[in-house]
A and B are shown apart, each in its own frame.
Chain A
């Protein structure tokens, strides 16, 4: 590297107009390449390494220059023109491909008469179109110094405000996202184009993403509160809402792998089953995410069970993420800002589940003015209100409800379901209060309630109730802490009112109180440290049945309540070793105490746990530690950039899980219940090793990714023959400790922009179980590996959006997957004097394959900027082909003979229409 400027003072230096400093032939070597915000020194080095060009400059003169260019068949001089535009640096390239950079005036070697023509010619051939482009390109690389350091000396952070306007129109650009890539802090411009967010002081690269527009960027040095107005290319008529750019930017470059982000805009375009944007259905379009059936509550990530997903909604844990047993997701789409799913590379701050973490980020209210949005569909309606309260506080409140009961009343009198009722609602209320620059307090609350019944006598219901308070504090410019305290509750119940004699209340519930502290410390440019702790106190009532009314003769029964404390300490480091290699490693140590009061059975040591090996009972006092499980979890992932457009990543992580869903999962069961680890039930353990290749093609228009993974799991829960899960106080006697392995490959090709966009993904995945070797009670399938209930090897998803016009978009979603495995009764025989059924090997058969195509269309109202209300229609058809995809198969005796049936839920094309508005 040549670090000295060669000052060749030849005496015939001339002062020329800016930017036209080319001496070499205009047909010079062409470059393509993506230079993402690197300093000029490195840029020069990169050029030198691949070409014969040699740079001569003074390092101190170029230190404020950042090169951020996506060059495509540009000559070096074109590139440099852009880089130095409006700076007082000049350059000249001589015939020996030497590039001389000088301040103020440029070196000149020739006095050729065609000099100015060449200059003009250079301008014309510039494939970066026109002067505006040049200007924009310059502003990208200029370092803006914002705020004055004296003003707020003590603060470590500063608030940046500003206005985002359109480059052509000067109109405010609402909805533009301003963010930075280190912590992914972000702000969204409001209707006036105003944005505001707090950043640590110091150097940042800000990115501005407008819907449908390209990513703009600005270099800032934030020294204190200040403002930065930005003019960006806008696209006011196009609401062709492109995938949020953070994903685009990070797919190749972020160190973690197995992370999928979905923006609300992407999800809005997916055809929805009942016209409702549904994030869970959206997730199912991603590779590696499956479900066992259309109306199932859970989803399966990389061959893991539904209870192995941690679903977080602004710090709260959601135990049942669905309404009406899976028809709708529990999340109000208007309340959601973004969704991240970690299939691998789970950040070290999260833990407690084996398969994945789904982080649903809810919105906080607008700081500018009171706003409302909502929608009306056939079955549901929703309304969201948000706005500021005073200067420092914002709120957002959103609700959703069904009004489907009128439809039931329309049914013929004879129909069995006339007495059926189904209803749900959910409510969100979030507040954000900015105490000062250093302290932000947020309140997040959520509740949902479902009720439904098929007849007058039996009412099913469940509810989520979650509330938490978080406090974000900026200790210094580099240290940020967040403290969260909250409570999550989930409750399920059945009210049986068939007749007074056997009226009952059945139910179970979960309560968890949680406390956590998370710190992020930016040690230096290379290290970002994450550390903290979390503690969850669980309280479960796994099941009870109580008589209802004085006449009831139902016996009261109750499964012992369970308590436990799960504490985790963690430390992680994002280490950017150099431009090409970065690693992300962390350790999380989890300590789990199961607590009294409880009474547990004890079993003959060394023998299989069963009714016949009980040797006694042990009682524990309140708060007494029954036993402790503890161990480390490792999270390691690394990235190696092959070139500017592609990278490979590898990762390894381990997880532990202490709360288990007991489900027989051959179909939806409202009686699924949860169980905590205790001396008889060990925590689940799993690890995952994964490898990925990522490549962006055609200037990031296309994104390709390929990930392969292998997971091993221990102490999973499967059930013995004839297990009964309802109100079973000795559930350990029905459980078989099971090992699992899952492996697969996920391929995805995504087109991010253009009139036609979308993705196609193919997933090959296997999910296998095997009764643990030391489990002697029973060996399912002879102790061999057998497919899990959600082993669906092939899965293909196509999501396509086509912009017919600026206001009309059409979308198609096609989904194919292998039918899930089932265990079937295949034969019968008489033994011990009774007729018995012989079942196939566990999961030896499969239900027919699943295939579905949905169509939808979004119609936007006109886009006059100053219109009172914006509205849109979404309409479409779910399951256009009307294929009867079996949800489950079952056998039932008909005239004494067992007959098999397959049950389809959405067996007909289902049209839907929803009206959405915001004002």
Chain B
């Protein structure tokens, strides 16, 4: 709402309550300690999988920057018997280590920042996650649900699942032709030039949590992990989901539970209440400093599931980006190839054939034909056909 609302009659200001009303900028002075806090994210794998710790800082709410990685820190893991393992910064703010850790010991993760501030985690007690018993899916009126079953134990009661989805999609208009700017001819695409079949992924979609303690025998049966709504492109051809299961402590579980509810939808009347986030790190010299993040340690387990479109047939697909895609009705003839296709906005899609000779191509927009604009045409390494 614009500011002129302040000028309108008083009673309208009531009405504008729900719209914003007489708004003036509000710029409270935040304490520096609130604005720039250390954020620690990660999981220490005990069984020779890569452990990854991400360090970053919170940024002021009004900043356009997304993330401020904390580089140049020393991250190390120390066991209660005094052994120390150092992590290496493999990317900006990303610290990794691969090794084997005795799950019977207790550990602490130590962080020394560039500015010499030292942080330490609370004691980490590794929890070995049981294997995922089964991942399957179920089709219902609303779409397809991916379901996970696992059996907890008395030591692994709380579970956190992360998952990565990959799927194949095709553009609305598929073409095997390519304009060659050197020859000014239209050629057939080579396999590596294919733009009609791509993979895409969703790597950090959301957090799924469950407490096995409330089920008899700690058995979590068919817990919905992901819901794929009807018309989703994910099941257009073949879909893969890899679920990584981590067994975590009650404290970690509570932390993630709050994270799950924390939403960036704030300020509205119907917004959920704000969340407060801490974690299991503290500044050695300043206990009052809030550090965001909860690092757990243990051995995770994972399982992958593939779904083909045939498994869920029929599966109509609607991709909003392709809603208005059409092949042009009039062909572009050879003389105009450069003009039409040279800029890359259009791609030859359907040949115009007179007798046995191709005399031109009907064009389609690149956005409607080139799937690499929305994904990648290189098969992921793990992918099984």
Contact = CB atoms under 8 A, between A and B. Distances in A.
B62 A669 contact: no
B274 A825 contact: yes
A834 B66 CA distance: 10
Interface in B289-314: 292-293
Contacts of A203: none
Contact of A325 (B17, B254, B261): B17
B325 to A, nearest CB: 26
B21 A899 contact: no
A726 B58 contact: no
A832 interface: yes
Contacts of B27: 900
Interface centre among A827, A833, A897 (most CB of B within 10 A): A827
Contact of A669 (B20, B25, B37, B270): B270
Contacts of A907: 6, 13, 22
B262 A910 contact: no
Interface residues of A, number: 84
A780 B58 CA distance: 20
B272 interface: yes
B25 A901 contact: yes
Nearest to A842: B276
A778 B258 contact: yes
A728 to B, nearest CB: 11
A898 B62 contact: yes
Nearest to A615: B214
B15 A884 contact: no
A908 B257 CA distance: 45
A613 B62 CA distance: 38
A454 B18 contact: yes
A248 to B, nearest CB: 36
B324 interface: no
A195 to B, nearest CB: 41
Given A720-B261, A831-B292, A826 B211 contact: no
B26 A900 contact: yes
A905 B15 contact: no
B207 A830 contact: no
Interface string B257-283: 111111110111111111111100000
Contact of B275 (A295, A615, A721, A829): A721
A420 interface: yes
Contacts of A892: 20, 267-268
Contact of A899 (B62, B158, B203): B62
Given A827-B35, A892-B267, A905-B22, A723 B273 contact: yes
Interface string A880-919: 0000101101111000111111111111101000000000
Nearest to B57: A829
Contacts of A838: 34, 37, 58, 277, 292
Nearest to B6: A907
A836 to B, nearest CB: 5
Contact of B17 (A719, A720, A903): A903
A869 interface: no
B28 interface: yes
Nearest to A721: B275
A29 B162 CA distance: 95
Contact of B61 (A825, A842, A890): A825
A899 B25 contact: yes
Contact of A823 (B1, B207, B272, B274): B274
Interface residues of B, number: 79
B266 A831 contact: no
B61 A722 contact: no
B262 A721 contact: yes
Interface in B132-158: 158
Nearest to A458: B18
A295 B14 contact: yes
B274 A422 contact: no
Nearest to B272: A722
B23 interface: yes
Contact of B264 (A417, A668, A836, A910): A836
A886 B27 CA distance: 13
B62 A897 contact: yes
Contacts of B67: 829-830
A511 B292 CA distance: 46
A610 B254 CA distance: 10
A127 to B, nearest CB: 53
A456 to B, nearest CB: 14
A817 to B, nearest CB: 18
Interface in A403-458: 404, 407, 411, 415-417, 420, 422, 452, 454
A422 B273 contact: no
Interface in A350-392: 379
Contacts of B274: 721, 823, 825, 837, 839, 842
Given A420-B12, A830-B66, A896-B64, A901 B277 contact: no
Interface in A783-821: none
B61 A420 contact: no
A845 interface: yes
A890 B267 contact: yes
A668 B268 CA distance: 11
B273 A721 contact: yes
B204 interface: yes
B71 to A, nearest CB: 15
Contact of A829 (B30, B58, B213): B58
Contact of A905 (B14, B58, B63): B14
B270 A612 contact: no
A202 B62 CA distance: 76
A612 B275 CA distance: 18
B209 to A, nearest CB: 7
A670 B14 CA distance: 13
A835 B292 CA distance: 13
A664 interface: yes
B66 A835 contact: yes
A886 B22 CA distance: 9
Contacts of B22: 884, 903-905, 907
B273 A722 contact: yes
Interface string B231-265: 00000000000000000000001100111111110
Given A295-B14, A829-B292, A890-B268, 16 more contacts: A324-B14, A610-B257, A613-B211, A721-B261, A827-B60, A828-B59, A829-B39, A835-B66, A886-B24, A891-B266, A896-B64, A898-B267, A901-B25, A903-B20, A905-B17, A908-B7
Interface of A: 274, 295, 324-325, 327, 379, 404, 407, 411, 415-417, 420, 422, 452, 454, 604, 607, 610, 612-615, 664, 666-671, 719-724, 726, 777-778, 780-782, 823-842, 845, 884, 886-887, 889-892, 896-908, 910
29 contacts: A295-B17, A324-B14, A452-B15, A612-B158, A612-B209, A613-B211, A668-B269, A721-B258, A721-B276, A722-B273, A778-B276, A780-B276, A826-B61, A827-B61, A828-B59, A829-B59, A829-B292, A832-B41, A832-B162, A839-B277, A842-B274, A842-B276, A884-B22, A886-B24, A891-B266, A900-B26, A902-B23, A903-B23, A905-B17
Pairs A-B, 7 closest by C-beta atoms: A833-B204, A722-B261, A721-B275, A827-B58, A612-B211, A902-B26, A839-B274
